[in-house]
């Protein structure tokens, strides 16, 4: 019997001027999710079940960018994506383009367990959801007043937004030049954040899951790293990893898989692997990740100003942080 560990995140990239009450609200949610996961792990619930349970909680709360509270497309609608992976046999399921599925992470789990495929997107993903009897809601359920306001700011700045910063808009409504780029194109930044959870249970089984609404003011049909196995999510016999940040950079670097790869091929431990990947695989991209190992280790890393995160181990360690 090994030792369990769990980590959760609410996204990388935090405005240094984020109000304290907003930081405290995020910490309370992360703590609640950790407590849910810890209780399940103490009851010997398998890692994959704990991941789904915790991510569902994050999707249901409108604070972060997944499920209710997801970022809005340029059309003012929500298009969500998620993936989940079970380490022991590297089983996985992923979905994208969802507009009416209340909990995308659970549909990803059903793709893994109830379909012959690993990834479904619209319209087939929602047709599959209806056949599986998952809870469906109107698209309006996911839209919050805060995000309607953020989309308005994005359109005024004529920019795609990500990260927790309000875009700088000039006196004539034009966006001020940004030093950040995505796929070589300048962008201004702001949006709510992706969520994820990684778990290793007492049996040493690792699992990971990630869920998001994507970028604020994104083009309809844009797919980020969260549903892409090996990029935003990965789990195997060695570790479980969930990423967050600039999706295009995470996709190019196959960030989550690379943590497992350097552990396997370079012999690095979990903390060394996370540090190596963040420092050497993102080029100029901005991102963060959380990870657990089969030995009960937990680690996080990011090259942004901050990352909403929390982690706990069976040995009694527990931490929730932003910076």
Residue 171's contacts (CB-CB under 8 Å, 6 or more residues apart) are none
Q: At what angle do helices 20-42 and 47-60 cross, to 10 degrees?
A: 150
Residue 323's contacts (CB-CB under 8 Å, 6 or more residues apart) are 14, 305, 306
Catalytic site residue 194? yes
Alpha-carbon gap, residue 180 to 130, rounded angstroms: 40
Task: Answer yes or no: is 68 a known binding residue.
Answer: no
Task: Answer yes or no: is 247 a known binding residue.
Answer: yes
Task: Answer yes or no: is 244 a known binding residue.
Answer: yes
Task: Answer yes or no: is 224 a known binding residue.
Answer: yes
Task: Answer yes or no: is 177 a known binding residue.
Answer: no
Q: Which helix (H) or strand (E) holds 199?
A: strand 195-200
Tokens 């109107």 label which residue? Answer: 138
If one counts every other C-beta atom within 10 angstroms of the C-beta of residue 185, the result is 11
Alpha-carbon gap, residue 242 to 196, rounded angstroms: 6
The closest alpha carbon to 10, from 212, 241, 294, belongs to 212
Q: Which of 100, 194, 233, 313 is catalytic?
A: 194
Residue 42's contacts (CB-CB under 8 Å, 6 or more residues apart) are none
Task: Answer yes or no: is 213 a known binding residue.
Answer: no
Task: Answer yes or no: is 229 a known binding residue.
Answer: no
Task: Answer yes or no: is 201 a known binding residue.
Answer: no
| Residues of each annotated binding site | 222-225, 244-247
Annotated binding-site ranges for substrate: 222-225, 244-247
Catalytic (active-site) positions: 194
């Amino acid at each position: 019997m090994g030792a369990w560990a769990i980590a959760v995140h609410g996204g990388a990239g935090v405005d240094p001027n984020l109000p304290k009450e907003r930081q405290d609200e995020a910490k309370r949610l992360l703590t609640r999710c950790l407590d849910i996961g810890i209780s399940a792990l103490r009851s010997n619930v398998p890692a994959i079940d704990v991941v789904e349970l915790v991510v569902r909680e994050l999707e249901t709360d409108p604070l972060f960018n997944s499920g209710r509270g997801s970022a809005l497309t340029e059309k003012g609608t929500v298009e969500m994506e998620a993936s989940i992976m079970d380490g022991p046999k590297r089983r996985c399921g992923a979905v994208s383009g969802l507009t009416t599925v209340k909990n995308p992470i659970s549909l990803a789990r059903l793709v893994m367990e109830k379909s012959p495929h690993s990834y479904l997107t619209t319209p087939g993903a929602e047709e599959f959801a209806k056949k599986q009897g998952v809870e469906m809601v109107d698209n309006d359920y996911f839209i919050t007043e805060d995000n309607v306001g953020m989309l308005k700011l994005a359109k005024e700045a004529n920019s795609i937004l990500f990260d927790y910063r309000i875009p700088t808009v000039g006196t004539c409504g034009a966006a001020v030049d940004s030093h950040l780029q995505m796929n070589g194109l300048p962008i201004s930044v702001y949006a709510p954040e992706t969520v994820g959870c990684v778990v290793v249970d007492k049996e040493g089984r690792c699992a990971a899951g990630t869920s998001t609404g994507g970028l604020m003011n994104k083009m309809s049909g844009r797919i980020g790293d969260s549903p892409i196995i090996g990029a935003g999510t990965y789990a195997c016999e060695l570790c479980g990893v969930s990423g967050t940040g600039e999706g295009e950079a995470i996709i190019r670097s196959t960030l989550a898989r690379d943590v497992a790869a350097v552990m396997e091929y370079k012999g690095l431990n979990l903390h060394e692997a996370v540090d190596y990947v963040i420092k050497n695989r993102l080029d100029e991209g901005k991102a963060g990740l959380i990870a657990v190992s089969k030995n009960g280790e937990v680690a996080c890393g990011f090259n942004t100003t901050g990352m909403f995160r929390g982690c706990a181990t069976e040995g009694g360690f527990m931490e929730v942080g932003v910076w």
